[in-house]
Structure 1
């Protein structure tokens, strides 16, 4: 089977924000992710050549914040595509006073594309102006996490029978600092959906994100502080932890931590088809008893992250 050429929307492009995507480019990416998933799992009719499209390619992984899923899934994605990875941690020459842009310009000398996670909001976008090769935003402080939003949307579509339009998605938890919810809300706003934002006092969705959602004029938004007010009509419940590392005042964190706990009782009024998601790690906001809930999708969500990131890498490099 011949490899499809990537469109100009993906090939050679940075991936910095969900604002860069269109419904068409997302659909194209998800078709590629389906091919990657089928190839990895050896599905009937799949194309094994997908697993070699990045042979002799190198992915640079530059992480200045802790990461398990994003780092590992990008590494696994590149290796599944036949490529290799170069890992860079916070113990780089930045410790010697080197600027981030100089570090990144050096790393791209050895790689075909790079992935960057950094604690400063806007850092990845700023550094991209210095780079000749594509960089993928793996999280910039409390800004965005676009590849997470893409894997989340892919999971929603998979769990909901391919449907996105018309769904009601409830986001629960720390919406102020949770960059995954910022990106996902803006991505979902490209579709006709209903978004419920449920958070502790003081941790609501930022006005900038709500303005971005409203600007597209497709999504309906409802805000409240009581999960039970909306859970019965939610097709998807997207739970997030309180972002301890973003708090200046530990006492303020302690005040809001544990405000919401999703357990079996909390799901008593949920629809039987309600998908429960979480970007992980969880720190008590989803009880382990929920793991046995048939529609608890957070570990499938993590697996989907590898397939979607395989597709992103391949599309940006123009090999799939």
Structure 2
């Protein structure tokens, strides 16, 4: 029997196919049924050391819609961190005020560190360029809803695949479903070699390309990501790849694509995806963002043990 009760959500690698599908099924139930007091008297600590809109607000919305309460911050500069307090000490103190912690931090491994320190569940809302597991759950949910299934799809990942934590997590999860993957990026932003090797070890058909030319007609889904300026140590290196890809309605009309192609993007977008796409049937990224609420409702309910 699948159980998420009191489990940390640190990496998508910690979950098998059955567990992934369990959360997706629970998210469907959360969308169909109104739960108003499921998490009554439960408190979520929302700790965001990096900027966030969708992840932070959807977690807070999910918690409040289930009757729970939220404490926390979106600017660590107003906390004791500004005085030099360590992350270890911060989460140990905050543990005494809440039932579950959602943490976003710029350092890779920060969520695991927090989980090792406290005795309540920790949910990783993004640790540097490493992992963003709840984004992966909602990406899977969106693909399943818009394509009707997860099995046997061909997906193109486009953009920053080196620093794109959403891509790393999603590719790993999709390997359970017989997905064929195309990684499309400039040479300097390729998918990490160890990730490619691991996928191939898992018998995933995966290919690296520098453009959509010649492969666009094969794709069921394009998962677009922005070039992440904040991950570059050298601004000059960022400028070399800035704007290298720009998806638009006109571009898609020039390419040979499937009529039921769907385009996802974890957002925010900058200049890699034109607004002309927004009103096309290809665009599902705003629905993708909204799916964060039922998916995070499911995760919070399962981890806090109120739904089994």
TM range (shorter): over 0.9
1:99 aligned residue: 86
TM-score normalized with structure 2 length: 0.96
The aligned counterpart of 1:261 is 246
Report deviation, 1:92: 1.6
Question: Which consecutive residues of structure 1, in runs of 5 or more, have no partner in the other structure?
Answer: 1-5, 40-47
RMSD: 1.2
| 1:37 to 2:22 alignment | no
Q: What is the alpha-carbon distance in structure 1 between the residues aligned to residue 87 and residue 261 of structure 2?
A: 43
Of residues 256, 268, 271 in structure 2, which corresponds to 1:281?
A: 268
Query: Please, which of 100, 105, 129 is the counterpart of residue 116 of structure 2?
Result: 129
Q: Which residue of 1 is the match for residue 2 of structure 2?
A: 7
Aligned to 1:45: none
Q: Deviations over 1:242-282 (max 9, x none)?
A: 00001111111111011000011221222110011100000
CA drift of 1:126 comes to 2.0
Within 2, Cα distance between the matches of 1:134 and 1:216?
A: 30
The residue number in structure 2 matching 1:44 is none
Partners of 1:62 and 1:114 within 8 A in 2:
yes
Aligned to 2:141: 154
Moved more, 90-99 or 136-145: 90-99
Query: Residues 70-106 of structure 1: CA distance to partner in whole angstroms, max 9, x if unpaired?
Result: 0000000101111010122312211111110110111
Is the contact made by 1:173 and 1:198 (CA closer than 8 Å) also made in structure 2?
yes
Cα distance between partner residues in 2 of 1:210 and 1:290: 30
Offset, 1:314: 0.4
Query: Scaled by the length of structure 1, what TM-score is found?
Result: 0.92
More off after superposition, 139-148 vs 228-237: 228-237
Unaligned runs of 5+ in 2: none
* Mean Cα deviation higher: 206-215 or 292-301: 206-215
Shift of 1:189: 1.3
